[in-house]
Structure 1
Amino acid sequence: MLERGLAVLLALAMVTSGCIGVPSSDGELDEASVEATDPAGAFTGPVEPGELSQPVHELDRMVETFLPTHDGTQIHTAEYHPNASGETPVVIQLSPYFGNLDAEPQAQHGSYWTQVLVERGYTVVHASVRGTGYSEGCFQLGGEDEIQDAHDIVKHYHEADWSNGNVSMIGISYPGTTPWQAAITDPPGLKTVVPMQGISDMYRYDHVDGASYTHGPAFPTYYTALVDWTLVPGNAEGPQHLLPPLDAFCPGAADRIEKGYETMAVGTHDEFWDEREYEAQLDQVDVPVFLVHGFQDWNVDPDNGVPLVDDLPANSKTWIGQWEHNIPFANTYNEDWSRHDWNMTMVAWFDRWLKGVDNGVTEREPVLVQDDAGHWYRADTWPPEDREPRQLFLAGDGRLMDEAPPSEVRRMAKDPSNAATEAPTDAEQARGPESLRFTSDPLAEDTLVTGRPTLSLDVAIDQPDGHLVADLYDEDAEDGPKWLGHAILNLAHRQTRDARTPVPQDQFVSVEMQFFPMNSFVPEDHRLRLELRPEAPDWIHPSPFSPTYEVQLGGEDPAQLSFTDLDDPGFEPAPERGQVPWST
């Protein structure tokens, strides 16, 4: 039964980890495998001579190595070398998926990068995170030794005698997280990083402002089992296939597992999460970053990565599109919105920073962003800095108004029985409904709700804690509501996620809720609708408390929704197949 359960976990990993293409069993790159997985076929399109590295190389050799790191732990790598003369630049994918999910280096996950880059004269390296695959050590879920490993691996390939000394790191999901680890340690030779759908703050992968996602408490357990399912120190002979007795667990493994459930109970961002908050060290990143993330990625939610856009180093670039946990050329949210130019843009980026080609890839506005109607536009910052926020006030009659309404208090409550089929008692009716709705007048013009809207209000509860959830909708009379995004808060963490402050019972406290990043096009004559509720069971574990909520509307400090409204950003069409938009 145990082995069967692990097999299920492995199957799930294959679905979710972004496996895109594989080399053939003899180690030769299989052109057909990449063509089949890139429906856009962008990297095969025509380009102007000299603008882009051409696919004129073949795989020369694959070399497996074990690299000693700072504490002596050996990290397993597989190097894919092109048949190019002279020294070559290096692109690394540091991943926990190699080996355990694909046992042989010839069948490793990241072969998409290998296919596209090796044939253009880059050496691609697949490195297994410590404690995973064939690497030694204990998996740390992004801890300090893993961070230092990223530094050591980059330094090694900067100094390799066949390397031109210029190194980058790229990946998606967890392999899109490790580029942040490398960047904050500033290793010699690191010229750029490309984090795609990566985690910039591990706490926010599992939790949000004191509330725990439904996967949150179990994540350190099942994920450790997924990528290092021996839970014992790795060794050069490769993954084991049986779980050990408890006394053989890696040091710290039990603590990491316990931490998920502890944080679910208290919601606190503590030293464990501090160690894994890479974005807090963004000021130490000195290399250009090509940041890629999706507004519809609810695996690594858009509050990872996307809020960092305006704080990236000089010469950085950002693509934020309406895709899920995807590479831009394969948009599963809307296949028609796939970016046919992704592969060429990626190669152009590496040509600029690893080969020194002055190709103009950094000359356009640094941010390319898509709204949820499919429109693309470019910007110098995101969200725009020169726009005054727009306010809509919550009124007791259920309206969202341009002017502050008269003072009024509205009630709501979480049904403690969760028995929707039972008629509420008189006492339950007195506590109020399970949600409060507020709807605007029809919009006078097309509106682009962009950035991270905020909701400010005063609330009182009759218990020491509870959740508060706000959902924002685009409401159309014909098609009904379209969900735009949400904000979630554990009220005991209203001041900071770093500490709990119990709510004084039956006293109003001021809270500010921040919505997840959005870029939502709301057409003229549609309405905005805001809904407040105590819980979001599809997203978060419910609070053990079931308070009655009183929400202060109007008055001296009125409840209000604030958002950036962008009128006309200058939409541009997505490129057709074979175009090179970064040069136009």
Structure 2
Amino acid sequence: MSRPRTLAMAVVAGVLTIFVAPAAAFATPAVSGTETMPVYSYQNAVRESVWVQTSLDNDGDGVPDRVAVDIVRPREAAARHLKVPVILEGSPYYACCGRGNESELKEYDASGTIAKQPLFYDNYFVPRGYAFVSADLAGTNRSTGCMDVGGREEVLGAKAVIDWLNGRARATYADGTPAVATAWTNGKTGMIGKSWDGSVANGVAATGVEGLETIVPISAISSWYDYQRFNGVLRAPDYPEYLASVVSGRPASVCAATVAGLDQGSDDATGNYNAFWASRDFRPDARKVHASVFIVHGINDTNVTTTQFAQWWSRLDVPKKIWLSQMSHVDPFDIDRAAWVDVLHRWFDRWLFGLPNGIDREPQARIETAPGTWVNERSWPASGAHQTKVTLGNGDGLTGTLGGGSSGGFRTWTDAPDLSEAAAVASPNTAVPGRVAFLSAPLSSGVRVSGTPAVSLRVQVDKPTTELTARLVDYGTASRVDYLGNGEGITTLDTSSCWGASTTADDACYLDTAEDVVTSDHAILTRGWQDAAHHVSLRFVTPLQPGKWYSVTVPMQATDQRIARGHVLGLILQASDNEYSSPQSVGATIRLDLRGSSLSLPLVGRLPASGATAPIVSTAPAPSTFAPMRVQPELPS
């Protein structure tokens, strides 16, 4: 265990400026330049638990549902009548699954008062003049109500906490006496959280609630439909019910009606976007967001996929910032720890204390371009990216080409439900039943794909529908983050480092991590899925007629990847995908018209013109097993 570490603080002109605030003022007693300083005692902080009353009663007991809230705040600030801002995390995972790389749970003392908060937020920020507040989402841990998985109960329950912090809602202590927050906070609140927790922050921000000044959604959901469906393709059956059962803290009989509503509303049978999903889609309400937004996401996240951040980001008209790593579903604290703690500190100082530290004038985007290599950019997607139409060529009749003049020709394949991703993308010059491949010429100079690719396919299908799957592949040897490994891009080390103050019950020390880097001869850059019968609308099914030609667009996940000189870009098409989804219609035969099909790339640079035939690409042998990778749904954790 390493000794506690204090980050270096910038001191303007070498002078520490002390501000002593009048009673009831909003201030911090010590600022170095434009940075809050750790002057409050974490050991002696006020620790308390309250229950915030909501306007809902979805457990049907005739009593308003209550959200359990655990608070750690600086005692000295309260004694001096200084009102402090709040960092809030709402989560369903505090009792069932844990938070962070070490799966920390909440812990309470003998009286039921919070003794340990997961993660470093309270350890680091409470000494700097913030309160840290963690809320158990409705139906989880010590809250009442029933978990409705992204619905009104979840979002409005978390919003009620902000209303209470601003004097607009009621709360009580365990003994029933009133709990008043306005005595110690001015109500300025920032929400943070990874995955489901960050999704709650997105949802609450979309209500436009007064007092929410900023959110930091990490690997977060902005549309629960897109999390549990891929354009009409079912990701896993009975998914909302599964999620609710994992996190619920209530007896099954109490929440049976809510769970039944999840089953009925989610409509596995059709995969349609309906009123149930619309109520869990925060993107249309992006115009209501007035809080600043700092998005963090892994560009290779296969759990909460990248359309979640890209479509949210593009609709936000507020001060915003974005970090994109090469990881899968990993917290930035476990990627670039020192840089993350520093930027998060500055972000909260700017938006919750109003300190003019300039972070809002810095480049919006920080992007990991290769293992451990980061660049800052003015905006995202890259300003030089242009949507480029890439034609599909016939090649040698087996392996097609990307780029160059449009050519005629067809490809026909029959769905192979057990075809694994590894086998589908390996050896693109060979015949593999169930997939077709298209390759660019070797790149004469590096290019960058920044944004959301898509492939438009003109197809005939011999069944009323089929899943269509597209993968964009970089063929070429390089060192890459192993985002498909067990650590989703990181390895946990034996050493540790400390980020804040500690108590006996709650230390600020965490195991260090390192990027998991491998050398590979190819990498999947992005994926996309589409149910063909939803080609007209996601709101209804339009069955295909055998023998009739249809244009079906397969959107891919947003990405930002660089493809090096000499590498080959590949497009791999197949039908159903047993690893990332649960196909409902399999076995179709698809005929593809090349002249009526194309790939759309948000491209910086140019692909070379293709030759008459595709280049020869060799890859390591694919694994011999075709077993599905995922046998049960993932948690958005």
Structure-2-length-normalised TM-score: 0.73
Q: 1:342 aligns to what SS in structure 2?
A: helix
Q: Tell me which residue corresponds to 1:196.
A: 218
Distance in 1, Cα, partners of 2:365 & 2:260: 42
Distance in 1, Cα, partners of 2:419 & 2:474: 28
Q: Which runs of 5+ in 2 are unaligned?
A: 12-31, 57-63, 98-104, 109-113, 168-181, 421-430, 479-519, 607-637
> Residue 481 of structure 1: CA displacement?
2.3
> Residue 380 of structure 1: CA displacement?
3.5
Q: 1:177 aligns to what SS in structure 2?
A: helix
Question: Out of 136, 146, 166, which is 1:138 matched to?
Answer: 146
Deviates more, 1:401-410 or 1:65-74: 401-410
Q: Tell me which residue corresponds to 1:50.
A: 33
Residue deviations 1:37-77 (CA, integer Å, cap 9, x gap): xxxx6x62343332321222223210111111123222111
**Using a 3 Å threshold, how does the CA distance of structure 1 residues 485 and 157 change in structure 2: closer, same or farther?**
same
Distance in 2, Cα, partners of 1:117 & 1:402: 53
* Identity value in percent: 25
Residue deviations 1:507-539 (CA, integer Å, cap 9, x gap): 110111111111111110111111111122111
Q: Tell me which residue corresponds to 1:75.
A: 67
Distance in 2, Cα, partners of 1:458 & 1:228: 45
**Using a 3 Å threshold, how does the CA distance of structure 1 residues 107 and 259 change in structure 2: closer, same or farther?**
farther
Q: Tell me which residue corresponds to 1:206.
A: 228
C-alpha contact 2:234 2:584 (8 A) present in aligned 1: no
Residue deviations 1:119-170 (CA, integer Å, cap 9, x gap): 2110011111111111111111121132222222112112322112311111
Q: Tell me which residue corresponds to 1:495.
A: 536
Residue deviations 1:463-483 (CA, integer Å, cap 9, x gap): 101011111111127953221
Q: Tell me which residue corresponds to 1:217.
A: 237
Q: Tell me which residue corresponds to 1:90.
A: 86
- AA matched with 2:304: V
**Using a 3 Å threshold, how does the CA distance of structure 1 residues 393 and 418 change in structure 2: closer, same or farther?**
closer
Distance in 2, Cα, partners of 1:302 & 1:416: 25
Q: Tell me which residue corresponds to 1:414.
A: 415
Q: 1:371 aligns to what SS in structure 2?
A: strand
C-alpha contact 2:49 2:68 (8 A) present in aligned 1: yes
Distance in 1, Cα, partners of 2:142 & 2:337: 35
> Residue 107 of structure 1: CA displacement?
5.7
What is the correspondence of 1:442-457 to structure 2 with a 5 Å cutoff? 442-457=442-457
Give the CA RMSD over aligned residues: 2.5
Residue deviations 1:446-487 (CA, integer Å, cap 9, x gap): 111221111112011011010111111111279532211111
Matched, 1:64 2:49: yes
C-alpha contact 1:413 1:432 (8 A) present in aligned 2: no
C-alpha contact 1:99 1:108 (8 A) present in aligned 2: no
What is the correspondence of 1:338-357 to structure 2 with a 5 Å cutoff? 338-357=336-355
Q: 1:133 aligns to what SS in structure 2?
A: coil
Structure-1-length-normalised TM-score: 0.79
Matched, 1:566 2:529: no
Q: Tell me which residue corresponds to 1:240.
A: none
> Residue 173 of structure 1: CA displacement?
1.4
- AA matched with 1:65: V
Matched, 1:226 2:211: no
Structure having the larger proportion of residues in helix: 1
Q: Which runs of 5+ in 1 are unaligned?
A: 1-31, 36-40, 233-242, 332-337, 420-430, 569-584
- AA matched with 1:53: T
Distance in 2, Cα, partners of 1:346 & 1:34: 22
Residue deviations 1:81-135 (CA, integer Å, cap 9, x gap): 1134211111111111234554644465534211121121100111111111111
> Residue 309 of structure 1: CA displacement?
2.4
Structure having the larger proportion of residues in strand: 2
Distance in 2, Cα, partners of 1:33 & 1:229: 36
- AA matched with 2:194: I
Q: Tell me which residue corresponds to 1:309.
A: 313
> Residue 377 of structure 1: CA displacement?
2.8
Matched, 1:112 2:120: yes
Matched, 1:549 2:594: no
- AA matched with 1:173: S
Matched, 1:528 2:526: no
Q: 2:313 aligns to what SS in structure 1?
A: helix
What is the correspondence of 1:278-427 to structure 2 with a 5 Å cutoff? 278-331=282-335, 338-372=336-370, 374-397=372-395, 398-415=399-416
Q: 1:353 aligns to what SS in structure 2?
A: helix
C-alpha contact 1:461 1:506 (8 A) present in aligned 2: yes
**Using a 3 Å threshold, how does the CA distance of structure 1 residues 432 and 522 change in structure 2: closer, same or farther?**
closer
Distance in 2, Cα, partners of 1:68 & 1:257: 27
> Residue 379 of structure 1: CA displacement?
3.1
C-alpha contact 2:418 2:578 (8 A) present in aligned 1: no
- AA matched with 2:47: M
C-alpha contact 2:142 2:249 (8 A) present in aligned 1: no
Distance in 2, Cα, partners of 1:52 & 1:531: 50
> Residue 356 of structure 1: CA displacement?
1.2
Q: Tell me which residue corresponds to 1:511.
A: 552
- AA matched with 2:87: V
Q: Tell me which residue corresponds to 1:155.
A: 163
C-alpha contact 1:456 1:513 (8 A) present in aligned 2: yes
Question: Out of 523, 534, 540, which is 1:482 matched to?
Answer: 523
Distance in 1, Cα, partners of 2:195 & 2:387: 33
**Using a 3 Å threshold, how does the CA distance of structure 1 residues 414 and 64 change in structure 2: closer, same or farther?**
same
**Using a 3 Å threshold, how does the CA distance of structure 1 residues 168 and 303 change in structure 2: closer, same or farther?**
same
